[in-house]
């Protein structure tokens, strides 16, 4: 799943947003931002658009904004997330005032939240909830017992199980086994040289030591050193983040005999049984050499070291359900040291996150009923249709694509399934029991419930109606195996989507988001899947080579974006998202022009339609970020930082040059043959 974090018929119809709004529901008269949807007061007219477009659009805001002490980043996305959080809080507060029938979703939402907020009880219970796990680790005396623990959901291991659509046959599910088991985000944190990374490693040592102290370990510093030495060896085996995006290298289907041969260091029957997978006959192994390397450590490293490892991780995983001292230690490392966050978020906000994780669709159903106007769905349907048409038109004329590949691409485009707002059927939570007085157990049962509902469906056809995102999530996604686009209700709000805003603004905002997700179907990873979601090469060699040549050029543009000393964007890791951003903006621009039906857009506030389109796009990326968080993102996240996403796509689009009079000599100027045009 790839996330955003986001023709002739239309020419004739001249379809616009306003026409798509349902009758009987008047949109608000005034847009949320400015007079037509852009916060022009935040622009910096002293900056030349051709020198630094992101700063031209957002300069005044960037110069004065501050990051809230409990955040690592702040911008448009974050403001909207705050709004969604506040909206959900209001729902939960309402539930708290009116008792719901036992066993209902409302009861579960209210009681899970209450158990989270009951800090006095969490404190009073102390380590008691964790005791059975610690005792089970203590009792292990053989490698087999160790592997059996690792097979349980609550314990960490050098491998992790997943259940997804089978890349060979996406109508059925398959069990995946992937690399796992590090306490720091990715291998670079263990292995990269330099003072910054030495600092992260020192903070991790402090954290692991502190957890052992709190667990009553007799030699906490020594135990921490053991765990970190073990994880460093595991990190050496791990694949780097960009290699994990390799569709072919991570698709290694095999039967159980093949698995036993590929990774002989693990007794897979013992490992698979505890999570209900004992009867599984075939699996997909992902990062093969990493899993082999990690599994080999089960033999080469002492059992005692692995037991320390399990004890640390089972506590690390539950710090927010344990006494405050655990929670504070976790915050000091995970949030403060790794991302620069200054203070812990208020408890209620974290409670909303927990609801999202464990009862997300239960909350989502209530959220949609209260906050999602039905008219938004209709307007989005029209916008998605326009974007699809725009991409179809562009495909027709792409010079680098031969006709055979073009026909396949058109077929894939035609079978995209857009999903807007909320799922067509809501998740059934009846098998999940929530107890108002037992947070730790609520979390355990919630995770087990989520896993078990996947396990029982292993033999059934893939459920295409299922959503991976929640309606209250400010994001969007594309799933290559399903060829589905998903736009949750919460992103269908200003500044992305505002029925009262000028159409240029909506095309530059949510239009670019829609185009981005469509672009994922045709990015370096998505293009390897066909219209049915199968991994199949539908490209001729010649067209494929031309695609790669263009994307290499694009990667070079991002590699040259270095927001911190010695820290540049990884063009390979971010390739899929960058193709999505560039293609999305091109498609949205084409759709906007088609929507005008050959007419000139009006000038508003002295700005042309084209200018408003690009301004709206750079506006949605308005954000500032802490340095540690930025470094973390660049190492771990396939999305480039906001300042890159709100400026590099523009540099490749000819219409942007015309709209803002960008000329040779301007800092962001690219000669026409240096611009990348993919979709
Ligand atoms: Zn994306």
Distance 468 CA to ligand 1 centre (A): 14
Say if residue 15's pLDDT is above 60: no
Q: For residue 159, what pLDDT is reported? A: 98
Distance 506 CA to ligand 1 centre (A): 18
Distance 34 CA to ligand 1 centre (A): 28
Per-residue pLDDT tens digits for 404-448: 999 999 999 999 999 999 999 999 999 999 999 999 999 999 999
Using a pLDDT cut of 70, give the percent of the chain over it: 96
Distance 640 CA to ligand 1 centre (A): 10
Q: For residue 566, what pLDDT is reported? A: 87
| Mean pLDDT on 135-161 | 98
Per-residue pLDDT tens digits for 569-594: 999 999 999 999 999 999 999 999 99
User: pLDDT-based confidence at 26, cuts 50/70/90?
Assistant: low
Q: Where are the beta strands (DSSP E) in 464-607?
A: 477-479, 484-488
* Residue 113: closest CA among 347, 332, 346: 347
- Lowest-pLDDT range of 179-188, 313-322, 374-383: 374-383
User: Higher model confidence: residue 565 or residue 653?
Assistant: 653
Q: For residue 18, what pLDDT is reported? A: 33
* Residue 509: closest CA among 33, 22, 23: 33
Distance 419 CA to ligand 1 centre (A): 15
Say if residue 648's pLDDT is above 80: yes
Q: For residue 430, what pLDDT is reported? A: 96
Q: Are 582 and 676 in contact (CB under 8 A)?
A: yes
Say if residue 14's pLDDT is above 50: no
Q: 553 to each of 163, 340, 430, 457, 502, how far by Cα in Å?
A: 36, 33, 52, 43, 34
Distance 170 CA to ligand 1 centre (A): 21
Distance 278 CA to ligand 1 centre (A): 35
Q: For residue 28, what pLDDT is reported? A: 60
Distance 572 CA to ligand 1 centre (A): 14
Residue 504 CB-half CA count within 13 A: 20
Per-residue pLDDT tens digits for 445-493: 999 999 999 999 999 999 999 999 999 999 999 999 999 999 999 999 9
Distance 376 CA to ligand 1 centre (A): 22
Q: What is the CA radius of gyration of the chain?
A: 26
Distance 577 CA to ligand 1 centre (A): 5
Q: b/e string for 52-69 if b means 16 or more Cβ within 10 A?
A: bbbbbbbbbbbeeeebee
Alpha helices in 398-502 (DSSP H): 403-415, 439-455
Distance 143 CA to ligand 1 centre (A): 41
Reduce the DSSP state of residue 168 to 3 states and report it.
Answer: coil
Distance 339 CA to ligand 1 centre (A): 22
Q: Measured between alpha carbons, how far is 560 from 569 in angstroms, rounded to an integer?
A: 7
Say if residue 4's pLDDT is above 70: no
* Average pLDDT in the chain: 94
Reduce the DSSP state of residue 243 to 3 states and report it.
Answer: helix
Distance 517 CA to ligand 1 centre (A): 6
| Mean pLDDT on 47-55 | 98
* Residue 306: closest CA among 143, 179, 183, 134: 143
Q: Measured between alpha carbons, how far is 181 from 190 in angstroms, rounded to an integer?
A: 13
Q: Are 37 and 494 in contact (CB under 8 A)?
A: yes
Say if residue 16's pLDDT is above 60: no
Q: For residue 374, what pLDDT is reported? A: 86
Q: Measured between alpha carbons, how far is 646 from 601 in angstroms, rounded to an integer?
A: 23
Say if residue 72's pLDDT is above 80: yes
Distance 638 CA to ligand 1 centre (A): 8
Q: For residue 11, what pLDDT is reported? A: 29
Say if residue 666's pLDDT is above 70: yes
User: pLDDT-based confidence at 131, cuts 50/70/90?
Assistant: very high
| Mean pLDDT on 310-322 | 98
| Mean pLDDT on 275-284 | 97
Distance 397 CA to ligand 1 centre (A): 25
Per-residue pLDDT tens digits for 188-214: 999 999 999 999 999 999 999 999 999
Distance 663 CA to ligand 1 centre (A): 31
Q: For residue 29, what pLDDT is reported? A: 76
Please give the structure tokens belonging to residue 410: 């058109």
Instruction: Kindly report the pTM of this predicted structure.
Output: 0.93
Distance 518 CA to ligand 1 centre (A): 9
Q: Measured between alpha carbons, how far is 332 from 349 in angstroms, rounded to an integer?
A: 18
Say if residue 23's pLDDT is above 90: no
């Amino acid at each position: 799943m790839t996330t955003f974090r986001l023709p002739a018929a239309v020419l004739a119809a001249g379809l616009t947003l306003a026409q798509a709004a349902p009758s009987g529901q008047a949109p608000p008269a005034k847009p949320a931002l400015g007079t037509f949807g852009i916060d022009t007061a935040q622009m910096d007219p002293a900056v030349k658009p051709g020198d630094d477009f992101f700063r031209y659009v957002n300069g005044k805001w960037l110069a004065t904004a501050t990051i809230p002490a409990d955040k690592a980043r702040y911008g448009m996305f974050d403001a909207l997330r705050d709004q969604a959080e506040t909206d959900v809080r209001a729902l939960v507060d309402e539930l708290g005032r009116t008792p719901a029938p036992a066993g209902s979703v409302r009861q579960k939402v209210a009681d899970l939240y209450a158990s989270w907020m009951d800090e006095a009880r969490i404190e009073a219970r102390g380590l008691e909830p964790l005791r059975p796990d610690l005792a089970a680790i203590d009792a292990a005396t053989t490698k087999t017992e160790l592997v059996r623990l690792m097979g349980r959901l609550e314990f960490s291991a050098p491998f992790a199980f997943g259940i997804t659509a089978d890349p060979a046959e996406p109508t059925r599910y398959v069990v995946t086994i992937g690399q796992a088991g590090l306490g720091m985000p990715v291998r670079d944190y263990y292995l990269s040289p330099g003072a910054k990374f030495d600092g992260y490693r020192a903070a991790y040592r402090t954290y692991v030591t502190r957890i052992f102290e709190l667990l009553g370990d007799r030699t906490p510093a020594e135990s921490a050193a053991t765990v970190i030495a073990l994880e460093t060896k595991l990190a050496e085996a791990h694949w780097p983040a960009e290699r994990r995006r390799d569709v072919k290298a991570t698709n290694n289907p095999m039967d159980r005999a093949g698995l036993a041969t590929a990774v002989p260091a693990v007794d897979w029957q013992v490992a698979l049984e505890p999570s209900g997978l004992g009867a599984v006959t075939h699996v997909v192994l992902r990062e093969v050499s990493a899993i082999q390397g990690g599994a080999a450590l089960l033999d080469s490293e002492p059992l005692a070291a692995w037991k320390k490892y399990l004890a640390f991780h089972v506590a690390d995983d539950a710090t927010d359900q344990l006494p405050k001292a655990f929670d504070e230690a976790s915050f000091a490392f995970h949030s403060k040291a790794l991302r620069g966050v200054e203070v812990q978020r208020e408890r209620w906000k974290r409670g909303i996150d927990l609801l999202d994780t464990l009862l997300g669709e239960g909350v989502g159903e209530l959220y949609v009923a209260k906050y999602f106007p039905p008219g938004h769905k209709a307007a989005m349907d029209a916008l998605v249709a326009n974007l699809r048409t725009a991409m179809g038109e562009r495909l027709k004329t792409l010079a680098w694509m031969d006709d055979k590949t073009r026909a396949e691409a058109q077929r894939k485009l035609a079978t995209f399934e857009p999903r807007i707002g909320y799922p067509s059927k809501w998740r059934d939570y009846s098998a999940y029991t929530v107890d108002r007085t037992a947070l730790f157990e609520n979390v355990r049962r919630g995770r087990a419930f989520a896993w078990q509902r996947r396990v029982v469906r292993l033999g059934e056809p893939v459920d295409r109606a299922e959503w991976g995102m929640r309606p209250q999530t400010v994001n969007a996604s594309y799933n290559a195996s399903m060829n589905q686009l998903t736009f949750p209700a919460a992103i269908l709000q200003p500044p992305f989507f505002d029925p009262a805003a000028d159409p240029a603004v909506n095309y530059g905002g949510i239009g670019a988001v829609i185009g981005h997700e469509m672009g994922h179907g045709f990015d370096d990873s998505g293009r390897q899947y066909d219209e049915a979601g199968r991994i199949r090469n539908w490209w001729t060699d010649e067209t494929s080579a031309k695609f790669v040549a263009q994307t290499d050029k694009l990667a070079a543009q991002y590699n040259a974006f270095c927001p911190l000393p010695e820290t540049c964007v990884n063009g390979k890791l971010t390739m899929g998202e960058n193709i999505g951003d560039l293609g999305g903006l091109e498609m949205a621009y084409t759709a906007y022009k088609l929507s005008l039906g050959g007419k000139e857009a009006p000038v508003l506030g002295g700005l042309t339609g084209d200018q408003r389109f690009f301004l709206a796009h750079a506006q949605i990326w308005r954000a500032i970020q802490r340095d540690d968080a930025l470094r973390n993102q660049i190492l771990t996240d396939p999305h480039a930082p906001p300042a890159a996403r709100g400026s590099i796509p523009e540099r490749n689009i000819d219409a942007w040059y015309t709209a803002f009079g960008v000329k040779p000599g301007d800092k962001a100027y690219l000669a026409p043959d240096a611009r990348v045009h993919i979709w």
